Amino acid sequence: MIYSRIAGTGSHLPDKVVTNHDLEQTLDTSDQWIRERTGICERRVAADNETTSVLAEQACLKALEAAACDPSEIDLFIIGTTTPDLIFPSTACLLQKKLGLPDCGAMDVNAACSGFLYALNIADKYIRCGDAKKVLVCGAETLSKIVNWSKRETAVLFADGAGAVVLEAAGEPGILSSHIHANGDYMDLLTTNAGVSVGWEETKDNGGKPEIQMRGNEVFKVAVRTLGRIVEETLGSNNLQKSDLNWLIPHQANLRIITAMAKMLDMSMDHVVVTVDRHGNSSAASVPLALDEAVRDGRIKRGDLLMLEAFGGGFTWGSALIRY
């Protein structure tokens, strides 16, 4: 049997930090209000000249270095993103030669906040079926560019960043299983007002630019319920118990959702990787960012059993059970 394992991780954040106190200057909000409802203290925001590909490039280079992988060895390159540099070419294609990759397949996957787990699922399948030996997988976003900074409900949440992993073929399971789902019936709860074929409505308070639109309370309820189901599905498909897990690495959307998931798994928050307080919600980048941080600071060690999960606009949701 062929399996895939994580050979190396990497991440990159913009330099600019926007704190809750910064937002107090322009919004009807407070540091206390934001912390109590989201757990966020600060978030990273890309500069005007920092595109998604700029952030993704740095994360990918670090992952390749950590994996001791020459770029010429990569057989497939996948980026999960909902904020590509261009409509086309894909962000993956824009980066392929910059990273020194061969003429391998390169593509973007848009599943909003679940984008990295969707991309990881695809990469795992390519390796398991023998079509690839090494796959570079990235989650990268510049959500700040579609945030209406005059609307509290979204301005306090979303942020920018990138994370990446190199997957390689192995004789023993690294990724034990991965699972992806979607339900478009909930599309109106978390969406944008922009599109290619539908155009977009002009937004006077956002300079005419497209923007994220969200009904937060409804999203929270569906997210907790849905993530609970996929965690049960993932453990059940591997005949494992909640107590077998060493670490939960969740999508960093909201501390209340993360806490609810930890409670559902009977896990101490000491075994949950939390970055939302410093990173905000970086969508498809949040899971690989959190993974890389915990690997590099030594919390996650080889042999640990990890549960990765995410939920995002679509609605989409996904998980991966990984023996690191």
30-74 confidence digits (pLDDT tens): 999 999 999 999 999 999 999 999 999 999 999 999 999 999 999
Number of H helices, E strands in the chain: 10, 13
The reply to whether 232 and 267 lie within a common domain is yes
Distance CA 216, CA 228 (A): 18
Count up the domains in the chain and report the number.
2
For 293, the 3-state DSSP assignment is: helix
Chosen domain end from 134, 155, 173: 173
Report the Cα–Cα distance between both ends of the chain, in Å, rounded: 18
The reply to whether 24 and 165 lie within a common domain is yes
Chosen domain end from 131, 156, 173: 173
Catalytic residue among 121, 251, 254, 279: 251
Asked about 281 being catalytic, the answer comes back as: yes
Instruction: Give the per-residue SS3 of 226-249.
Output: HHHHHHHHHHHHCCCCHHHCCEEE
The reply to whether 46 and 185 lie within a common domain is no
Give the C-alpha distances (Å, rounded to integers) separating 257 from 17, 39, 51, 172, 309: 23, 10, 29, 33, 12
Nearest to 139 by CA among 162, 123, 166: 162
The reply to whether 136 and 185 lie within a common domain is no
Q: What is the pLDDT of residues 178-209, one digit of tens each?
A: 999 999 999 999 999 888 888 877 776 777 78
The reply to whether 163 and 105 lie within a common domain is yes
Per-residue pLDDT, 152: 92
Asked about 113 being catalytic, the answer comes back as: yes
Q: Which range marks the domain in which residue 247 is found?
A: 177-323
Q: Where are the beta strands (DSSP E) in 1-101?
A: 3-12, 17-19, 42-44, 76-80
The reply to whether 231 and 145 lie within a common domain is no
Asked about 49 being catalytic, the answer comes back as: no
Residue written as token pair 């407070």: 30
CB 272 within 8 A of CB 258: yes
Find residue 321's DSSP bridge partners. 177, 307
Per-residue pLDDT, 51: 98
Indicate the pairing of strand 190-192 with strand 175-182.
unpaired
The reply to whether 234 and 319 lie within a common domain is yes
Q: Where residue 288 sits, what CATH number does that domain have?
A: 3.40.47.10
Find residue 307's DSSP bridge partners. 248, 321
Per-residue pLDDT, 141: 98
Per-residue model confidence as pLDDT tens for the chain (324 residues)? 899 999 999 999 999 999 999 999 999 999 999 999 999 999 999 999 999 999 999 999 999 999 999 999 999 999 999 999 999 999 999 999 999 999 999 999 999 999 999 999 999 999 999 999 999 999 999 999 999 999 999 999 999 999 999 999 999 989 999 999 999 999 999 999 888 888 877 776 777 788 899 998 899 889 989 998 999 999 999 999 999 999 999 999 999 999 999 998 999 999 999 999 999 999 999 999 999 999 999 999 999 999 999 999 999 999 999 999
Catalytic residue among 113, 121, 193, 254: 113
User: pTM for the complete prediction?
Assistant: 0.96
The reply to whether 189 and 266 lie within a common domain is yes
The reply to whether 168 and 186 lie within a common domain is no
Chosen domain end from 149, 173, 197: 173
Residue written as token pair 């206390």: 32
The reply to whether 52 and 162 lie within a common domain is yes
Nearest to 277 by CA among 260, 253, 257, 293: 253
Give the C-alpha distances (Å, rounded to integers) separating 192 from 82, 86, 279: 11, 16, 22
Residue written as token pair 């599309």: 187
The reply to whether 150 and 212 lie within a common domain is no
The enclosing H or E element of 322 equals strand 316-323
The reply to whether 9 and 146 lie within a common domain is yes
